[in-house]
């Protein structure tokens, strides 16, 4: 197996899963070198460092922006599974935005955040840094609003 050093920033995709021994953790990170969702990569990660595993399992939540470092392990002949990142360094760059109401759902569209409220059809849209983008009239209009924001043109009616 070949291991390649790697450092990347990305968002914790789901709650980490503890290993059988309780000292390791497996998790996924979504990273994108650009603001285009088509460039996103989901990295399968694991850590054997008990301190990092503890932090992941007790302090981190989906949507947290992390900087992770480690070695990309590429499978060799006869190895099962795909490539994975063996993490030996972890830094929380930004916590996930707070979710205030259980009925509301916060979702990510690349670097954008949207709030789905079952009580209304409109969908507020923000950048990942919290800057206001606008309100989509309905869920199907979110990508049009984001495109208009990125290009500086008004959204199509």
pLDDT for residue 75: 77
**Residue 155, pLDDT above cutoff 80:** no
Element (H, E) at 14: none
| pTM check: above 0.85 | no
Q: How confident is the model at residue 156 (pLDDT cuts 50, 70, 90)?
A: low
Judge residue 21's burial from the number of C-beta atoms within 10 Å of its C-beta, 0-12 exposed, 13-18 middle, 19 or more buried. exposed
pLDDT for residue 157: 60
> Which are the contacts of 106, defined by CB distance < 8 A and separation ≥ 6?
63, 97, 99, 113, 114, 115, 116
pLDDT for residue 138: 87
pLDDT in tens, 50-76: 999 999 998 998 889 999 999 998 877
Mean pLDDT within 122-134: 85
pLDDT for residue 21: 83
Element (H, E) at 55: helix 50-58
Report the side by side order of strands in the sheet with 112-116.
105-109, 112-116, 123-127, 132-136
pLDDT for residue 128: 79
pLDDT for residue 39: 85
């Amino acid at each position: 197996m070949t291991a390649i050093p790697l450092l990347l920033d990305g968002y914790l995709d789901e709650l980490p899963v503890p290993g059988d021994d309780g000292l390791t953790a497996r998790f996924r990170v979504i990273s994108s070198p650009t603001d285009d969702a088509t460039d996103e990569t989901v990295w399968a990660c694991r850590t054997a460092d008990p301190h990092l595993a503890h932090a992941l399992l007790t302090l981190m939540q989906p949507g947290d922006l992390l900087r992770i470092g480690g070695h990309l392990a590429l499978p060799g002949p006869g190895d099962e599974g795909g490539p994975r990142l063996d993490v030996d360094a972890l830094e929380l760059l930004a916590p996930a935005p707070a979710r205030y109401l259980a009925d509301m759902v916060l979702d990510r569209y690349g670097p954008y955040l949207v709030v789905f409220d079952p009580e209304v059809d409109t969908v507020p849209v923000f950048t990942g840094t919290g800057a206001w983008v606008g309100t989509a009239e309905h869920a199907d209009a979110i990508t049009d609003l984001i495109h208009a924001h990125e290009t500086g043109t008004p959204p199509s009616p």
